[in-house]
Structure 1
Amino acid sequence: MKKTAWRDYETFTQRVFQAILTHEGVTNVDVRHDVELVGKTATHQIDVYWEFEQAGVLYRTVVSCKDWAARVKQGEIFTLKAVLDDLPGQPRGIVVSRAGFQEGAQTYARAHGIGLYELRVPDKGYVRNLGLDFEAVKAVLHEHEVLLDMPWMRSEAARLGLHAFRFTSEQSDKIVFTSENGTQVITGKLIMDQLFPFNGEDIGRRHRRRHTFNEPVFMDTGESMLPRAKVLAVEIDLEWVVYARTFVDYTLNEFVAFVLKNVVDGRLHRLDAEGRPLPPETGPVIVLPRS
């Protein structure tokens, strides 16, 4: 593929992923080019961004495009990882390169679950078989616990003339924690995001982590007699799991204009001159459920 202006390469990448996701039957797909996303500390320019919803879960992906003659270095993957950590909702990260990636970039990307793709014309040395592998990952919440300041709770109950109190808290990700004057301090969802940022190495591993408050924090109990409770910490037991995998396998032919290669696993996807996936000649679509 001849070298194009960076914007042409980005818009072509946008068309490629839009076409692939549509071809794979993913619905409610929103693929955009050159967008700004507001993070926790800064606003980030994103080359290509897509999101779609399945079974009530919103999946987000940030794509960085490198239309360079040289292979992408590790530092570029560091930069993308920092952007992903700053964005809410734990989006997945992908880097698309015309010239490939240095070994250090590949090693770091694998360790942090960042996808690497080469998008260019097929070389003679390419294997004439291709596929694209999608994995759906979700967080499974095994247990959550809100740790209360019991001396404060007993004192407050005595002040209100209560001999006993009982309430059931919401699931941790739905709780809003407030200050003494009722101002929102943080949400349970943000705490979960901070305690369990998505990392490729964490898939299949279960962790129990605690967030401790360093200032007086309260939560709504939903009980009129004791309307709020003072919270010391939140403990969450969570596991990232792969629950579905889709793999499409094709055989190449002379009409292949571009190849999208997954650098991590070596799989290829064949595209026509417009960036659309070519119809399969061999190989069915297989969806493998994963626990």
Structure 2
Amino acid sequence: MNNENFYEKAVRDIYEAIAREKTVKTLTARHKESIEGRTSTHEIDIFWEFADEDITYKTVIQARETTTLAALFAMVRIIRDIPGQTVGVIITQPVYQKDVKDMAASAGIILYELIPPVTQDVVEQVVDNVRINVDKDWVKAEKQRVGLGDEPVQVTNQPKYAFLYDEQGRLLDSVQGIFDSYGKQRELALVGRKQSIVHTFGAPVFLQTNHELVPFVKLTSIDFDLELVNANELPGEEMVEYILDKVFRFFGG
């Protein structure tokens, strides 16, 4: 993945996230189109016009691998040629030149600085909606045996850090280990697709509790949602949120 493709992809992710943005009302969103200004036509990566209550804002978003003074001058010409409250956004690699940063700030140009990933694909697993299912009949019988009646038996509030044991109290695995075993089995082609997993046990398995009289409870299954995500994927919603915050700050909102 080269830098140019990385920044162009960031712009595309922003454009797709704009369609899902609910905090403001999008009036116009265009990607890779020509926009008519007062005096000329401009080729723009994204033109986004949105309303926040009674105020309308316009943003011009461009991808630039390197941001120079010349690139800023070009952006200034565009945003000054488009009527209304218009601000420019440049998606670029980190900018270290003070004169470039100072000019961008004074001209109403937001520098969204991103560092390209070193490798193209770094896959991570995201686990959600975890439900640990206990053997209710076993738990009821165990509580009756120790004289607890209906007193609840509390298990850990952080199930992924809990350990699993066999009938002899020997450590078998952790709940996180169960998650990891499924993550390793998933193909890269499934990246971005959420999978609902029901993990059952072939032999009796127990989870440690915080109760002195019932130190373990028997489990029947562990349910969870598993999604493989590319760690190098840019979160479009977060980028849009950042841009909105900067726009409102610039105009004193």
Give the TM-score category using the shorter length.
0.3 to 0.5
TM-score normalised by the chain length of structure 1: 0.38
Comparing both structures, which one devotes a greater share of its residues to helix?
2
Highest CA radius of gyration, 1 or 2? 2
Comparing both structures, which one devotes a greater share of its residues to strand?
1
TM-score normalised by the chain length of structure 2: 0.43
